[in-house]
Amino acid sequence: MPEYPEMEHYRRLLAERIAGQPITKVLVTRPKSINVPVETFEQELVGRTVWFVERRGKMILFHLDNGKRLLLHLMLGGLIRYESHTLLTPEGLPHERPDRTVQVTIGFPAGDLCFIGLRLGYIHLLTVKETNAQLADLGPEPFDGRLTLEAFKARFKSKRGSLKNSLVDQHVIAGIGNCYADEIAFEAEIRPDVRISAIDPEAWERIYNAMHAVLKDAVAHGGYMELPLTNDDTLTGGYNERCRVYDRGGEPCLRCDGTIVQTELNSRKLFYCPSCQKEG
């Protein structure tokens, strides 16, 4: 599932291409992916201009010129693909489309098409009030200036589970998922399965700093998921080669002489080095 770095990278690329552009066509092939009747969805969008593109946690928000929002959550197995100057068939369908299933296609001038695959995700048309209500329970962004070290520690005070389970809890911090929780724990030299109650006070600063360092580096290298937005997008997936523990089970640790362990925690994959990551 795309996390903060992937969605922030997509947001930047999409903003460059569609901010200020009118929507020229809409094609929905699975009504369950949207929250209103297909006809309403199409009528509400065609002719509207995308003012700007925002990201909140793992979601992308398209702000429209009539004040409404498109809220996109790719969830597991979702994709975004943007094709420029796409040729259409006589039926108005694109000649070129991603290999994977596409549920919603949004067109822009010059034949540009944004393909959205939504295996488990959704794209909802919402008012400002509805958008705010849907996002109300999300935790703060990792780089929110108000999320000081003390505020960060306070987010975990009531948690009783493991560090990883708390890091991926979107009510605690928005945008972190399986991959980056493990990478943050590795950077902080602490095991991701350590209980919150067992974490030393000194370790919280390491975790806080590790969150910023890992996510900043991941955004700069396009995240770990290899699903480029466009044909000339060479950055997406660049962080995959920089992952130090995630999906590296059985490989040597890049920091010590240990071996990366792969196990499970509450049905989630878990990666860590037992030699240099502490249990508290």
Q: Provide the annotated active-site residues.
A: 2-3, 58, 268
C-alpha torsion sign, points 177, 184, 263, 195: negative
Cβ atoms of 255 and 244 closer than 8 Å: yes
Cβ atoms of 196 and 172 closer than 8 Å: no
Cβ atoms of 78 and 8 closer than 8 Å: no
Nearest to 123, CA basis, from 203, 202, 69: 69
Tell me the residue ranges of DSSP E strands in 30-184: 50-56, 59-64, 69-73, 79-83, 104-108, 112-117, 122-126
